[in-house]
Structure 1
């Protein structure tokens, strides 16, 4: 008999298409504590939850994480350079996390790090962290080679090169797991897509270079800017109808991706219906 965690985590091919999320074949959902009530995430019918790090003050408390992890795999993002999470220094905040949660180690977004934290070396901390937690995922943004060197599950942002890169890794013999994080908009409406992920995709370097100067990045974008942003949304996010998202996820799997985690760019409600 399947445990509740295993039952929630079955693929859509096994469970049928009961809900909007299951029809996309996503494996998990990314939760930003500043945007959602973590307790409300229980309604999302997926087997893996990742909790983003947005500063010490926004890390969910132990009781909340334990409730969420009761029947799901919950992974908490841990910035190895931050005070309290430093495996070579103060790791008190890391040690306070409940044993029922898993970990995603990252270098840490500078927006959430103090200046002295940003100066800390990533490589030795990442190595020490992975030695400490054998089944951790490693976020690859900005540290792709370091992340790969750990041999841990690679957790990377969806991009226009993801399928090609993962296929190459598999061809070269990489046998570890690969997980992908993707902002997700379950709508064909162009304005809805731009309002949800336009600003996000505009920060990707190839997109920023292609955009006209001072162009808006939301639904007010017109002309070339609008075209560039909409094209980029299909490269750096999962957007469109449930069938279109399903096809994109399946294409990622065919390339060798093991787990696809969607970030609900228009809010968690879209992942409940």
Structure 2
């Protein structure tokens, strides 16, 4: 099986997403892709400005900005906004509830997204949970891969949307079913349609059996890019055919799998 740089090139991915709570984001310098997206996992995990500046000197860097969070709120405390190096581009999101306080969760998304877009017109807009608001805000729409992605993107294009669509997808470069389930089984199981289909109390990793394993084996392929690099490349090609412009892979087994 291909590994490292050759494997990544074979996938056809455009960018890699890194979670700073999981790895040193400086590993992005070892990834043979020109663009890296850095997820927001709370203020304590936010890379400092020197690290971001170093990455942005060699890569296109996109940093997730939760517009309701203190420090990034364009209608309130925006003290952290100015600390982001100028060359670092933004991905504006409502913000995952796990990384927001109760007060932050109560803040209205729409006016903050609009104000943030005025500050950063080139920002991508994360659509998770706020699809209509994100579309109204404009800009590159940053979607999560799901079982409805192809249908949804076709509908967007048919309706006349001519902006960019970027897609975030957990990615596992193997066809070993046990490895795949260990990497993204629990992720797929959190999706509502999958949770409803799973038997109560079922395992959601490689130990899943029977009906649970059947459900998960199908679900991981709905919500993640899975398979040998050439198989992933075919999945990426199909996404481009329906109108996806940029595909961002999240290394569900760790960044080492994507490094040269």
Shorter-chain TM-score: what band?
over 0.9
- Does the 8 A contact of 2:126 with 2:142 survive in 1? yes
| Residue of structure 2 in register with 1:218 after alignment | 205
Structure 1 runs (4+) deviating above 6 angstroms are none
Residue 243 (1) aligns with residue 237 (2)? no
| Residue of structure 1 in register with 2:10 after alignment | 23
Q: Aligned equivalents of 1:40 and 1:142: distance in 2?
A: 30
Q: Aligned equivalents of 1:227 and 1:262: distance in 2?
A: 24
| Residue of structure 2 in register with 1:126 after alignment | 113
* Farther-moved stretch of structure 1 (123-132 vs 137-146): 123-132
- Written as runs of structure 1 = structure 2, the 5 A alignment for 1:32-181 is 32-181=19-168
Q: Aligned equivalents of 1:100 and 1:59: distance in 2?
A: 17
- Does the 8 A contact of 1:104 with 1:139 survive in 2? yes
| Residue of structure 1 in register with 2:221 after alignment | 234
User: Structure 1 regions of 5+ residues with no counterpart?
Assistant: 1-16
| Residue of structure 1 in register with 2:240 after alignment | 253
Q: Aligned equivalents of 1:22 and 1:164: distance in 2?
A: 27
Q: 1:226-251: CA deviations, max 9, x gaps?
A: 11011001110000111110000000
Residue 195 (1) aligns with residue 167 (2)? no
User: Structure 2 regions of 5+ residues with no counterpart?
Assistant: none
Distance 1:18 1:200, change over 3 A: closer
Q: 1:14-40: CA deviations, max 9, x gaps?
A: xxx961101000000000001111112
Residue 185 (1) aligns with residue 135 (2)? no
Distance 1:18 1:123, change over 3 A: closer
The Cα of 1:172 is off from its aligned counterpart by 1.1
The Cα of 1:71 is off from its aligned counterpart by 2.2
Paired residues, what number?
257
The Cα of 1:110 is off from its aligned counterpart by 0.5
| Residue of structure 2 in register with 1:270 after alignment | 257
TM-score where L is the length of structure 2: 0.97
Output the aligned Cα RMSD: 1.0
Q: Aligned equivalents of 2:140 and 2:251: distance in 1?
A: 22
- Higher RCO (CA-CA < 8 Å; seq separation 6+): 2
Give the SS at the match of 1:92: coil
Distance 1:190 1:62, change over 3 A: same
Give the SS at the match of 1:181: strand
Q: Aligned equivalents of 1:222 and 1:183: distance in 2?
A: 23
TM-score where L is the length of structure 1: 0.93
